[in-house]
């Protein structure tokens, strides 16, 4: 289907493919062997010599994680913070903003629930106004509408790059160009895009970016990361501090770290951080353009297969579509369908209106099934899934 990617090697290095057809990479990807090894070896080292001592012994490898993430995003290592998960990363950037009554936050129709709930809380606290940019005819954020909504009251543009509920890829670089021209900070939720496509923060023009290890990057659960452009650091006030984020310099004074690690805290998941760095290096070793080429092709193939099934409707939007494929099967409860396929060793997921309320209410979709393909998935797996789905219709 695509060139320059050794599928046999990718599957040989992914232990999980021997057990399941995993089409839930948008939930959590299957870890490759090098990532799994990095995680388990450090946990064993902690058990053998102690947690503090293990961290000291692997200090260089921990630092290498920041280097790997910087290469992944085309930024500097000092612009990276490694935190507990993507939500914490996003929250540290968002709650670090200084809002007051009358300010405006511009966001998208398909914004994720956790982010939108934070907007609502900030509106309650400060009187900030949350403005939803409409979609264009393709279903992506309307860039022209965004340009018309930008004004002196706009203090933040916050958009999810690849929404959780379907194939849409929002036009992040076009949004970034408008944000830079207007001098408005741009926070990009890249939870579902990092690892499946090339992400270049300079080309995109975002000031902050949040992401996770566990999805398309194929790292472990319980770790995520935040990018903050160096010029943005002093415009943010970390929501909380500890002795890692700042130094207690005198009885009544402290000094913030000069880098993005001011958004971290001292106690952290060292094994997960090490595995995150290996996952970033592993993806870079395959090449993000090659990964994206295969993911995109697999997803489009899957959409065509689904569209040919009676009673199945693909629900994806956008001019450019990602490796997340959403669909509804007439007369079948999405949760029951997920459970039935799990009995056949096929992992899929569901997405509900509670996750992306504005978009799914507008389309009258309470619940639907969701797939997330990755480069290690095979065409045979797609056939197996489609055959199993047909038997359920």
- The candidate with the shortest Cα–Cα distance to 323, out of 158, 164, 171, is 164
- The candidate with the shortest Cα–Cα distance to 32, out of 326, 318, 276, 323, is 276
* 95-147 confidence digits (pLDDT tens): 999 999 999 999 999 999 999 999 999 999 999 999 999 999 999 999 999 99
DSSP state of 110: T
Q: Are 185 and 179 a contacting pair, CB within 8 Å?
A: yes
Go through the domains of the chain in sequence order and give each one's CATH number. Answer: 7-31+287-392 (3.90.1150.10), 35-285 (3.40.640.10)
In angstroms, the CA 189 to CA 116 distance is: 12
User: Mean pLDDT throughout 203-214?
Assistant: 98
| Residue % of the chain over a pLDDT of 70 | 99
- Coil vs helix vs strand at 33: helix
* 80-99 confidence digits (pLDDT tens): 999 999 999 999 999 999 99
* 179-199 confidence digits (pLDDT tens): 999 999 999 999 999 999 999
Decide if pLDDT at 2 tops 50.
Answer: no
Max CA separation in the chain (angstroms)? 71
Q: What is the pLDDT of residue 4?
A: 74
What's the mean pLDDT when you consider all of the chain?
97
CB-count burial class (<10 Å; 0-12, 13-18, 19+) for 336: exposed
Q: What is the pLDDT of residue 202?
A: 98
* 299-357 confidence digits (pLDDT tens): 999 999 999 999 999 999 999 999 999 999 999 999 999 999 999 999 999 999 999 99
Decide if pLDDT at 61 tops 50.
Answer: yes
- The candidate with the shortest Cα–Cα distance to 27, out of 324, 273, 303, is 324
H helical segments located in the chain: 7-12, 33-49, 51-57, 59-73, 86-94, 113-126, 143-149, 172-182, 201-204, 270-286, 288-307, 334-342, 357-362, 379-392
Decide if pLDDT at 1 tops 60.
Answer: no
* 272-294 confidence digits (pLDDT tens): 999 999 999 999 999 999 999 99
Q: 311 in the Ramachandran plot: left (φ > 0), alpha (ψ -120 to 50) or beta?
A: left
């Amino acid at each position: 289907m695509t060139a320059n990617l050794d599928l046999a090697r990718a599957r040989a290095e992914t232990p999980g493919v021997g057990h399941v057809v995993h089409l839930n990479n948008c939930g959590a990807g299957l870890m490759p062997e090098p990532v799994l090894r990095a995680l388990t070896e450090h946990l064993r080292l902690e058990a053998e010599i102690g947690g503090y001592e293990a961290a000291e012994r692997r200090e260089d490898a921990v630092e290498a994680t920041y280097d790997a993430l910087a290469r992944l995003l085309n930024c500097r290592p000092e612009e990276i913070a490694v935190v507990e998960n993507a939500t914490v990363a996003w929250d540290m950037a968002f709650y670090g903003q200084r809002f007051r009554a009358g300010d405006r936050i511009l966001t998208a129709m398909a914004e994720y629930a956790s982010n939108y709930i934070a907007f609502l809380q900030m509106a309650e606290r400060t009187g900030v106004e949350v403005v939803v940019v409409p979609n264009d005819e393709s279903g992506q954020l309307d860039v022209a509408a965004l340009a018309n909504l930008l004004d002196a009251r706009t203090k933040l543009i916050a958009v999810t790059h690849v929404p959780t509920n379907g194939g849409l890829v929002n036009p992040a670089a076009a949004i970034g160009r408008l944000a830079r021209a207007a001098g408005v900070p741009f926070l990009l939720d890249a939870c579902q895009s990092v690892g499946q496509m090339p992400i270049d923060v300079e080309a995109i023009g975002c000031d902050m970016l949040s992401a996770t290890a566990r999805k398309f990057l194929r790292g472990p659960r319980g770790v995520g990361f935040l990018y903050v452009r160096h010029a943005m650091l002093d415009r943010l006030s970390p929501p909380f501090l500890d002795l890692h984020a700042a130094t207690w310099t005198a009885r009544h004074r402290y000094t913030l770290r000069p880098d993005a690690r001011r958004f971290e805290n001292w106690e952290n998941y060292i094994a997960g951080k090490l595995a995150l760095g290996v996952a970033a290096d592993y993806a870079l070793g395959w090449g993000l353009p090659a990964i994206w080429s295969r993911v995109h092709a697999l997803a489009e193939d899957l959409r065509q297969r689904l569209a040919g099934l009676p009673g199945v409707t693909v629900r994806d939007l956008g001019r450019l579509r990602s490796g997340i494929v959403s669909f509804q099967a007439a007369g079948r409860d999405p949760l029951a369908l997920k459970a039935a396929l799990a009995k056949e060793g096929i992992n899929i997921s569901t997405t509900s209106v509670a996750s992306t309320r504005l978009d799914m209410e507008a389309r009258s979709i309470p619940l639907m099934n969701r797939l997330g393909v990755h480069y290690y998935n095979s065409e045979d797996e797609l056939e197996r899934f489609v055959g199993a789905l047909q038997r359920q219709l």
